[in-house]
Structure 1
Amino acid sequence: MTGSQETPSFRLAYVPGATPAKWVRIWNERLPEVPLTLVQVPSTEASHVLRAGEADAGLVRLPVDRTFFSAIPLYTEATVVVVPKDHLVTAADEVTLADLADEVLLHPLDDVFEWDSPPGEPAFERPATTSDAIELVAANVGLLIVPQSLARLHHRKDLTYRPVVDAPQSSVALSWPEEATTDLVEDFIGIVRGRTVNSTRGRTAAKTDTEQKRKQPEQGGTRQKPAGAKTTGGKPAGRTARGRTVSAAGRPAKRGKPRRKS
């Protein structure tokens, strides 16, 4: 039909390791009439997807271009090293970068860390993806440092991981183009920040406040006259503190002369 409005929808991009399930569930409970579509994207392509308008917002890894994007940091992950289960590293509960200095460390092209000086011994070539690097770790080619969520995402029975206490950390944020802050984006921001349905900071609550104000009588309007009140010239007559009747103009009403007793 011509002139019909398109059904609203919301597209949420998310990078590997991010877990939007809880927020999606709340969205579906609060806005069942607006379908939410998840768009999984590699970390290296998240900004491109948002710039191109292929998603309304995204769960991405920081940093982002703050001259173009708005971002709300959500959490920071622990950093771990993925190793074979029989590796010597597993003897410790946690390790440092110095402990890994003599190990071959893999740095895939989609590495989420921006190393000033990559630790460990370099491999002959960089794997294309984190998934490829995991396969090389399983083949005893090298070790891999990743955020803990990626270690869990690529879990294998023959691999394990240990925290690296002094390694860089990766933070996940909700991000969107600043100039495209729509009502639906505001709704998702409210969900992520834990606002309730009745929160006064939500746009829905703001609309409710506006409607309530419209229902209130305007200040300075005509007040309803009390039942049974007498009026003189459109203004109610009254009594003074001494009980004398006064006119609407505020002057005492004239009283007749007392009659003389015969």
Structure 2
Amino acid sequence: MDTDEDGRRNGMDVDLRKLRYFVAVAEELHFGRAAQRLHIAQPALSRQVRALEDDLSVALFLRDRRGTVLTPAGARLLDEAGPLLAAAEATVRRVTAAAADTPVFTIGFMPGITVTPAVRALSARHPGLSVRLLRTGWEDQVEVLRDGRADVSIVRLPIDQKGLRVRPLFTEPRVAVLPADHPLAGKSALTIADLAGDHLLQDPDAVPEWRDIAQELRTGERPEVPPIHSVEEKLELVARGAGVCVIPLSTATFYTRPDVVALTVEDLGPGQVCLAWTATRLSRLIHDFADLADSLAPPATA
């Protein structure tokens, strides 16, 4: 094992600022664009990345006239850097919150999920507690835990459960949302195969049944769709005929509009709603809320 003059293993002390700089270059694969993104001079960025390579005693990038690519070590560091930076950010947020005069407990929740009963019960159990709510989406329902924005998150599966504790709460039906003028809009129920020719306006991994069945049946190119950050954006795309989506029935009921229809899909299983929190956290408030959240009733489906 290589050690430095202090007897420590080389690379054990990683500068988080250098790591952030590395991530920017690794994502852009271009030092100039990464420097613009970070609002620093390109030579300074290059020096910081070289210093990180020296700290770790590995090459992170291959640079030549054709461009910049990650080495195997660089690719591994990129995989590891995200959770490490998020954990550091979460620590800062929690330490800052701990210094506040009034303790704060933040609950993330997905659209269509009603958390009021559990919030009221937690506030009654801890009268001096400030309870805050944070609306999340498919992309960040777990990230808010990893970076410390939320203490717990009420999530819809599937999610990446690495490093989390996940407690099932309830299931609810899911429906397909189509434009009101879709040829199938008048049917009382559909199958996934009926929709195989339509473009799914979400990550196929969010709808495993669709991924496993419909994608095998579809042929041809699918239109490009911009990133979607909210239910409202998704429904706008459905309404204008860009594709269809699968959402929980409670969400479809909440976002009722005349230019889309929500239909039952016979071979589409229910969605699972769970409570998630970081596995290493031992907060009494988290466990109190977890006990209270167990009593959350499924949303009304009538």
The percentage of aligned residue pairs carrying the same residue is 31
Distance 1:7 1:100, change over 3 A: same
Q: How far does residue 14 in structure 1 lie from its aligned partner after superposition?
A: 1.3
Q: Which runs of 4+ in 1 moved over 6 A?
A: none
- Corresponding residue number in structure 2 for 1:55: 150
- Corresponding residue number in structure 2 for 1:159: 260
Match of 2:112 among 17, 35, 38: 17
Distance 1:66 1:85 in 2: 37
- Corresponding residue number in structure 1 for 2:126: 31
Distance 1:143 1:63, change over 3 A: closer
Q: Is 2:199–2:223's contact at 8 Å kept on the other side of the alignment?
A: no
Distance 1:157 1:137 in 2: 12
- Corresponding residue number in structure 1 for 2:206: 112
RMSD: 2.7
- Corresponding residue number in structure 2 for 1:125: 224
- Corresponding residue number in structure 2 for 1:233: none
Q: Which moved more, 1:11-20 or 1:107-116?
A: 107-116
Q: Over alpha carbons, which structure has the higher Rg?
A: 1
SS in 1 for 2:291: helix
Cα deviation 1:105-149 (Å, max 9, x = unaligned): 332359733424554566311342143331122123332222223
TM-score, structure 1 as length reference? 0.63
**Paired letter, 1:93:** S
Q: Is 2:189–2:265's contact at 8 Å kept on the other side of the alignment?
A: yes
- Unmatched segments (≥5 aa) in structure 1: 196-262
- Corresponding residue number in structure 2 for 1:214: none
Q: Is 2:192–2:213's contact at 8 Å kept on the other side of the alignment?
A: no
- Corresponding residue number in structure 1 for 2:294: 193
**Paired letter, 1:108:** Q
Distance 1:80 1:147 in 2: 6
Q: Does residue 175 of the first structure (1) align with residue 276 of the second (2)?
A: yes
Q: Which moved more, 1:117-126 or 1:60-69?
A: 117-126
Q: Does residue 147 of the first structure (1) align with residue 248 of the second (2)?
A: yes
- Corresponding residue number in structure 2 for 1:83: 178
Aligned residues: 191
Distance 1:67 1:108, change over 3 A: closer
Distance 1:184 1:141 in 2: 44
Q: Does residue 100 of the first structure (1) align with residue 203 of the second (2)?
A: no
SS in 2 for 1:11: strand
Distance 1:167 1:187 in 2: 34
Distance 1:80 1:194, change over 3 A: closer
Distance 1:55 1:67, change over 3 A: same
Cα deviation 1:11-59 (Å, max 9, x = unaligned): 1111223221222222233333211100112221122210122211110
Q: Is 2:189–2:266's contact at 8 Å kept on the other side of the alignment?
A: yes
Distance 1:28 1:9 in 2: 11
Matches within 5 A, 1:55-74: 55-74=150-169
